[in-house]
């Protein structure tokens, strides 16, 4: 009886085992492929979200400062014997470093300009590549008030946004320029302060003021502060009250369009960011290069695997009035 039962028990043949292994392998391969696709897609979503979040942070900084351009503080009647309005000079200078114009825009990274600190001229760093778009500069001047400062209650600041090349140095030879990797640009911010104490009974006229920076003992000033890395382009366009572009850029060094500095009614801002890591699986094919469009310039020969995202906003300069009223 036992021998008969044993003969009726069926097992698995070698072919059936092999078929099971093949089916299991196919299922595992399908699961791994699905996981890889989902993981790669999730990584791309995270990269896009990071670019979007950091771009919003920089845009908010620019919007706040551009809106403050030209702001002048009026205290009015007070019990502290402070001047009712600002006594600070408004210097109509012919140089960028001395000017008190509410907004000054400089086109291009390789522009020779004033990067504020200790009133020194500085030649901007050359571009990583001659064809790179990056980047314009913007200088913003506005007033403030501090009732706790008896010597100078009225304040004036100049904020500057500009770009500088950034890179990853070689770990073994960090000073070697030829071994630098991952060449890119970063947006930097500087802040200087107009020093000019108020009049006193012994000195009824306030002394002549001057711009001071971090190196001059200004605790609230800073220089070359990195705001955002991996920036591809930063463009500013000045717009007048009729919605037309003010061209060329008004500058205090140009007597023919210097008055247009006070005709700016809004600023178009365009920022283009690049992903920190490679985003696409393959490089762009010939004839299908990825493009970046700007307000007045564009580049169409990107073939690498990095993602680039552009943000554009219009900011109204609500505190800038005609020159005679400023």
Sign, CA dihedral 23-27-33-36, equals negative
Least confident of 41-50, 109-118, 194-203: 109-118
Residue 210 placed within a domain: yes
Q: In this model, does residue 324 exceed pLDDT 90?
A: no
> CB under 8 Å to 248, separation ≥6 — which residues?
254, 257
- For residue 190, how far is the Cα from the chain centroid? 12
Residue 4 domain-assigned?
no
Q: What H or E segment, with its residue span, contains residue 234? A: strand 231-239
8 domain-assigned: no
Q: What is the pLDDT of residue 289?
A: 76
Percent of the chain scored above 70 by pLDDT? 83
Domain that holds residue 275: 13-325
Domain count, the chain: 1
In a domain? residue 195: yes
Q: DSSP for 25-91, please give it.
A: HHHHHHHHHHHHHHHHHHHHHHHHHHHHHHHHHHHHHHHHHHHHTT---B--S-SS---SB------
Examine residue 251 and state whether it is found in any structural domain, yes or no: yes
Task: State pLDDT tens for residues 222-246.
Answer: 988 999 999 988 999 999 999 999 9
Res. 300 pLDDT band, cuts 50 70 90: low
The predicted-structure confidence for 137-154, as pLDDT tens digits, reads as follows: 999 999 999 999 888 999
Would residue 173 count as lying in a domain?
yes
Question: Do the domain assignments include residue 134?
Answer: yes
């Amino acid at each position: 009886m036992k021998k008969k039962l044993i003969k009726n028990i069926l097992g698995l043949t070698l072919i059936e085992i092999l078929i099971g292994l093949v089916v299991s392998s196919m299922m595992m391969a399908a699961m791994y492929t699905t996981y890889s696709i989902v993981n790669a897609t999730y990584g791309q979503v995270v990269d896009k979200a990071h670019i979007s979040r950091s771009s919003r942070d920089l845009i908010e900084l620019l919007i706040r400062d551009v809106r403050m351009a030209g702001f002048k503080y009026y205290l009015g009647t007070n019990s502290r014997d402070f001047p009712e309005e600002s006594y600070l000079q408004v210097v109509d200078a012919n140089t960028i470093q001395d000017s008190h114009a509410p907004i000054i825009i400089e086109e291009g990274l390789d522009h020779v300009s004033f990067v504020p600190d200790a009133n020194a001229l500085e030649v901007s760093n050359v571009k990583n590549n001659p064809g790179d778009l990056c980047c314009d500069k913007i200088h913003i001047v506005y007033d403030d008030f501090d009732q706790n400062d008896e010597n100078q209650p009225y304040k004036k600041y100049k904020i500057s946004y500009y770009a500088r090349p950034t890179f990853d140095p070689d770990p073994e030879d960090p000073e070697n320029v030829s071994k630098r990797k991952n060449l890119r640009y970063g947006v930097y911010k500087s802040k200087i302060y107009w020093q000019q104490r108020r009049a006193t009974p012994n000195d009824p006229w306030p002394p002549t003021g001057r711009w001071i920076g971090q190196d001059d003992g200004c605790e609230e000033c800073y220089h070359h502060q990195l705001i955002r890395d991996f920036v591809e382009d930063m463009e500013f366009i000045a717009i007048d009250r009729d919605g037309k572009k003010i061209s060329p850029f008004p500058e205090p060094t140009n007597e023919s369009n210097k008055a247009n500095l006070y005709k700016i009614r809004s600023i178009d801002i365009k920022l283009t960011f690049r992903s920190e890591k490679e985003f696409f699986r393959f490089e762009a094919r010939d004839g299908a290069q990825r493009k970046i469009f700007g307000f007045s310039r564009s580049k169409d020969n990107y073939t690498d695997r990095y993602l680039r995202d552009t943000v554009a906003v219009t900011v109204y300069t609500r505190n800038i009035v005609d020159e005679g009223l400023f």
